Each structure stands twice: as C-alpha cells, then as structure tokens.
Amino acid sequence: MSEPMIRLDNVSKTFASGKGEVEAVRNIDLEIEKGDIFGIIGLSGAGKSTLVRCLNLLERPTEGRVYINGRDIMAMSNSQLSVMRRDIGMIFQHFNLLMQRNVLDNVAFPLEIAGDSRKSARKKAGKYLETVGLSEKAAAYPAQLSGGQKQRVAIARVLASDPKILLCDEATSALDPQTTKSILQLIKEINRDLGITVVIITHEMSVVQEICNRVAVLDHGVKVEEGTVEELFRAPKTEEAKKLVFSETAHIRRMHSSRQIRVVFNGRSAFEPIIGNIILELRTPINILYANTQTINGNAEGEMILQLPDNKEIADKMIEYFREKNLGAEEVSYVD
C-alpha cells in the first residue's frame, strides 16, 4: 500500500503566553491521500490554522511527526525544507498581491525570486492565468479587480510553482456566496485536471459539502471526528460536528411539549414520497419545520427537521418507520 500524501502522527503544538502555555493542537493523527480534497473544519479557536501551518512547518510541532509523501519533514535540514516547501502552495483569505505590479507580473514574481528568467516566468504565468480564466486581465492591476478575480490571481501564482499540495486557509471567507461557489469549482477543477492534493481549512460546512471528499472536525485543538463528507452530513456523532452540520437550522426553536427529528435522505430516497406515505399510514399530520436538498460529492442529499406529534406511541412509530426505510433519523433539539 502506498504512503499517503500527508500523514500526521500524534502532532501537538503548544504556544507560550503571558498566562502560561496554550495547547493549540493536541495529539492529531491524520492521513490525507494523494488526490484528496480534504476538509479541516471547526469553529473559531479550534486550531485549524495552526494545524495547517504544521503541514509545511511554518509552525513546528512541539510533539509528533509530519510526513509528506512518505518523508519525515521534521528531520530535514533548512535547505531540504526550503526545497520541499516548493511542493506545497498556500492560498489565504487575504490575497497578498503586489499592488504596484500588474496581474501577469504578480503571478511571475515568485518564479523570478526562485531564479527563473523574466521571460520564462512571464510565459509560465500566462499559462496559469489561462487555467484560472483570467488571461484577459494580464495587464490589469489588483486595484482594478474584484475579490474573486484577486483570489484567482493568487491561485495562479501558487500554481505557477507546480505544487503537489494546495493548502487553502479560509480562502473563500472574504467572498460573497456566488463568488465562493465559482472559486470552489475552480479548485475542484485544479484537483481533477492537475492531480493536486487539496486541504481546505474552513468554519463553513457549506464549503466542505461543496468540494471535499473527506473531512476532519476539530474542537479546541483535538480531532473529534473524521470520515467522508456524506457520513458527517448524515450522522454527525459528536456535539461539535452537530453544531457545524445543523448550523443552517439553528434558527429553529424548541417547542414546548414537542419532539423534533432530523431525517436525512440519500440520492435514492430524496425523491420518494416518504412523508406522504407515513401520514397516510399513521393517519397523523407532521409539521415540517425545515427542509433542504443539496448536492454533496455529486450526489443528491436532503434533510428535514420534523415536529413529531405529542402522542409518544405514534411519534415512536414514525421514528421506527424512518429507520426501517434506512434513512438517517435522530432526535434533535434547538434552544434559545
């Protein structure tokens, strides 16, 4: 079996502060396979950005080992580390473009720093501007671009160095929803066409659902859950994962003397008249508090939050019915 592209063994990172030590990341084990689009998700302060910076030793772990393509990078010399980092590109929430350089020269700049001739660097820059769909903006300056266009320039600049891994640290947080969707689609195309392994750091479940195939959930520096995106969406196991998955339904309030259930539909069942059938069978209405259908990893996935009847026997029968149909069904509550 081949080595994963990225492997973390028991990685911890502790910072010193005026109030003592702060453990930002604790005992993280993680494997990311070549070609993955892997999401690392958590709320603010979960340790996501610290963890991603440990992947290329911008932050050196206090404990544990980091392996890239089977190589222990913590054992590398500074010169070896410098060469290795060329294989790992990073894009951030802020675009960090040089305002006095035009788009083409922004993309070419790291290549020139690495020793390429100006002519060679600009030729390669033009190629990757075409990849991100910005060839016509080569002569424009950053101040003339939209936020989405600036992020595309930043992505082209990273691609010009031919990385094997792309780390995205909240790369779409400053963008509107439509632009976010287009940038995520671009990253997906880069992953597919260039074979680059992608790691997405985000606090937004919608980003993970849009693009990732696997995901790890962090809470206060600890990995609390890991699996496919479908597994996390259908049946989050930990409280932290539930907060992230249920974030869109947080506006629903717990009603007195009522029970609520979250029912998850997969691609086959999403279009069956499940609710209609159960109402007819049990002759009892169900109040639909929330419903949504979306595409996760190319498959239709849906969810509903239902208010069950006060009659316990009938409510229990409804839950049993959903589970017999192999639907994800879990009682939930939402509080003020």
Q: Which of residues 185, 200, 231 is at a domain's end?
A: 231
Average pLDDT of the chain is: 86
In this prediction the pTM is 0.81
CA distance 34 to 164: 9
Asked whether residue 83 falls in the same domain as residue 171, the answer is yes
Q: Reading across the β-sheet that carries 287-296, which strands appear in turn?
A: 287-296, 299-308, 259-265, 328-332
Answer whether residue 255 shows pLDDT above 50.
no
Q: What is the pLDDT of residue 307?
A: 84
Of 326 and 55, which is predicted with more confidence?
55
Asked whether residue 323 falls in the same domain as residue 214, the answer is no
The domain that contains 306 carries what CATH number? 3.30.70.260
Q: Is residue 239 part of a domain?
A: no
Of 246 and 256, which is predicted with more confidence?
246
Q: Which of residues 165, 196, 231 is at a domain's end?
A: 231
Domain boundaries, position 301: 246-332
Write out pLDDT tens, residues 149-206. 999 999 999 999 899 999 999 888 888 889 999 999 999 999 999 999 999 999 988 8
Asked whether residue 158 falls in the same domain as residue 292, the answer is no
Answer whether residue 251 shows pLDDT above 60.
no
Asked whether residue 85 falls in the same domain as residue 188, the answer is yes
Q: Is residue 236 part of a domain?
A: no
Q: What is the pLDDT of residue 51?
A: 94
**Residue whose C-alpha is closest to residue 11's, from 223, 240, 224:** 223
| Confidence tier at 213 by pLDDT (50, 70, 90) | very high
The domain that contains 70 carries what CATH number? 3.40.50.300
Across the chain, where does the E strand assignment appear? Answer: 6-17, 20-32, 37-41, 63-68, 71-72, 88-92, 165-169, 197-202, 214-219, 222-228, 259-265, 287-296, 299-308, 328-332
Q: Is residue 238 part of a domain?
A: no
Asked whether residue 211 falls in the same domain as residue 126, the answer is yes
Pair 195, 162: CB distance under 8 Å: no
Q: What is the pLDDT of residue 335?
A: 42
Q: Which of residues 207, 231, 255 is at a domain's end?
A: 231
Answer whether residue 29 shows pLDDT above 90.
yes
Q: What is the pLDDT of residue 186?
A: 93
Write out pLDDT tens, residues 271-308. 567 778 888 887 888 888 877 777 776 666 778 888 88
Asked whether residue 127 falls in the same domain as residue 200, the answer is yes
Q: Is residue 241 part of a domain?
A: no
Asked whether residue 178 falls in the same domain as residue 252, the answer is no
Burial class (CB in 10 A: 0-12, 13-18, 19+), 198: buried
Write out pLDDT tens, residues 71-106. 999 999 999 998 899 899 999 888 889 999 999 999
CA distance 65 to 7: 8
Q: What is the pLDDT of residue 80?
A: 92
Asked whether residue 14 falls in the same domain as residue 84, the answer is yes
Number of domains in the chain: 2
| Confidence tier at 257 by pLDDT (50, 70, 90) | very low
Considering the chain, what percentage of its residues have pLDDT values greater than 70? 92
Q: Please list the residues that pair with 227 across neighbouring strands.
A: 215
Which range has the worst mean pLDDT, 47-61, 224-238, 322-336?
A: 322-336
Pair 76, 88: CB distance under 8 Å: no
Which range has the worst mean pLDDT, 95-109, 221-235, 300-314?
A: 300-314
